[in-house]
């Protein structure tokens, strides 16, 4: 799908669209560190009494604001979500951008001690704070995590290791090579309920990642995932950077939060984007 000129215009903006709260120096007793958290509220939040699903994003400084993004180009989560909501493609959600720290590589690997600490921070500290402070839907089916690269691996691990907490995961350009590809062995030793929704993607230009991503797509289909709960997208021009993740962010957002027929217009166009079969 070629996104409309309206969305392309929004992607050029350098300010966060919509209402959000920036929490500075959120301290964790598990990671023994502080990090910023940005909580973006959906357009109708202050005009309604309803509750919303929550999307937790790793590398939070890269997803809303180009001034804090690693490369000076952010994911444009606020612009993309606002567009999709306004045009009735997706349901509204609360978005929680979780900043990384100097221990990013270890924290985003849940096989490591620091990774387990990071998972405890999310599950036992940040999620309870969000659920108590905002009108969220706390159930697993309403709780999604998304990230890219190491953040993609982390999102995938959270859904596989803590399925009663994180019911859905979006893994963009996942670093499945970590710990000598330990995630593949883990997948062989577990009995999965196949209740979660999983989105996985990679760009063909990501030479060090593409084969592992294709392999994981096959693993998921072999254990029972299908087009109802799994979407594998291979971007023929995709590379490993924030700009590319921003350009295809509408796909995982639509897969997780899409509104039936409207969503299918985006997910299954004639341009070649295909679901798992």
Per-residue pLDDT tens digits for 35-48: 999 999 999 999 99
How buried is residue 205: exposed, middle or buried, by Cβ count under 10 Å (0-12/13-18/19+)? middle
First to last CA, the chain: 20
Please say if the pLDDT value at position 208 is more than 50: yes
Above pLDDT 70, what percent of the chain?
Answer: 90
Alpha-carbon gap, residue 9 to 157, rounded angstroms: 35
pLDDT in tens, 98-133: 999 999 999 999 999 999 999 999 999 999 999 999
Nearest residue to 56 (alpha-carbon basis) of 72, 71, 35, 33? 35
pLDDT, one tens digit per residue, over 185-196 is 999 988 777 788
Residue 263, domain extent: 5-267
CA dist., res. 48 & res. 33, Å (int): 35
pLDDT band at 8 (very low <50, low <70, confident <90, very high): low
Mean pLDDT of 245-264: 87
Q: What is the pTM (predicted TM-score) of this model? A: 0.93
Report the candidate in 141, 138, 147 with the shortest Cα–Cα distance to residue 56. 147
Q: What are the Cα distances from residue 200, in Å, to 106, 207, 275? A: 21, 16, 10
Residue 10's pLDDT is what?
64
How many structural domains does the chain have? 1
Q: Compute the mean pLDDT over every residue in the chain, rounded to the nearest whole number.
A: 90
H or E, element range at 247: helix 242-248
The pLDDT value recorded for residue 251 is 93
Quote the radius of gyration of the chain (alpha carbons, Å).
17
Do the domain assignments include residue 85? Answer: yes
In a domain, 277, yes or no: no
Residue 187 lies in a domain: yes
Q: Within a domain: residue 65?
A: yes
Contacts of 186 (CB under 8 A, 6+ apart): 111, 160
What number of CA atoms fall less than 13 Å from residue 116's CA on the CB side? Answer: 3
Domain-embedded: residue 273: no
For 59-77, the pLDDT digits (tens) are 999 999 888 988 888 899 9
Whether 272 is covered by a domain: the verdict is: no
- Domain membership flag for residue 25: yes
Instruction: Confirm whether 275 is domain-assigned.
Output: no
Q: How far apart are CA 264 and CA 260, in angstroms?
A: 6
Of 1-15, 134-148, 169-183, 193-207, minimum mean pLDDT range:
1-15
Strand pairing category for 20-28 and 33-40: antiparallel
Q: Give 268's pLDDT tier (boundaries 50, 70, 90).
A: low
pLDDT for 5: 58
The pLDDT assigned to 144 comes to 98
The reported pLDDT for the residue numbered 209 is: 96
Instruction: Give the residue among 35, 53, 59 at the shortest CA–CA distance from 146.
Output: 59
d(CA 122, CA 158): 10
Q: What is the CATH number of the domain that holds 203?
A: 3.40.50.1820
Q: How far apart are CA 105 and CA 179, in angstroms?
A: 11
Structure tokens at 262: 């409207």
276 has a pLDDT exceeding 70: no
| 197 bridge partner residues | 168
Residue 195: per-residue pLDDT: 80
The confidence score (pLDDT) of residue 275 equals 37
């Amino acid at each position: 799908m070629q996104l409309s000129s309206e969305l392309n215009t929004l992607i050029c903006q350098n300010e966060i669209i919509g209402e959000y709260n920036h929490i500075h120096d959120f301290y964790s007793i598990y990671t023994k560190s502080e990090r910023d958290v940005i909580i973006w509220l959906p357009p109708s939040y202050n005009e309604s009494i309803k509750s919303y699903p929550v999307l937790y994003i790793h590398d939070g400084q890269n997803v809303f604001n180009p001034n804090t993004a690693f490369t000076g180009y952010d994911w444009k989560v606020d612009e993309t979500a606002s567009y999709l909501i306004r045009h009735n493609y997706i349901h509204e959600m609360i978005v929680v951008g979780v900043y990384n720290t100097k221990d990013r590589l270890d924290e985003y690997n849940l096989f490591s001690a620091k990774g387990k600490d990071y998972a405890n921070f999310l599950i036992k500290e940040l999620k309870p704070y969000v659920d108590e402070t905002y009108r969220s839907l706390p159930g697993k089916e309403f709780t999604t995590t998304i990230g890219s690269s190491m953040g993609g691996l982390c999102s995938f691990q959270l859904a596989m290791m803590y399925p009663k907490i994180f019911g859905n995961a979006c893994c963009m350009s996942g670093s499945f090579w970590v710990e000598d590809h330990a995630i593949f062995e883990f997948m062989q030793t577990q009995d999965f309920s196949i209740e979660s929704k999983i989105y996985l993607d990679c760009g063909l230009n990501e030479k060090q990642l593409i084969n592992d991503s294709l392999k994981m797509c096959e693993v998921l289909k072999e254990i029972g995932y299908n087009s109802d709960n799994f979407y594998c997208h291979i971007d023929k021009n995709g590379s490993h950077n924030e700009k590319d993740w921003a350009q295809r962010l509408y796909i995982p957002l639509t897969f997780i939060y899409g509104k039936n027929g409207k969503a299918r217009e985006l997910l299954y166009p004639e341009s070649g984007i295909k679901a798992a079969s």
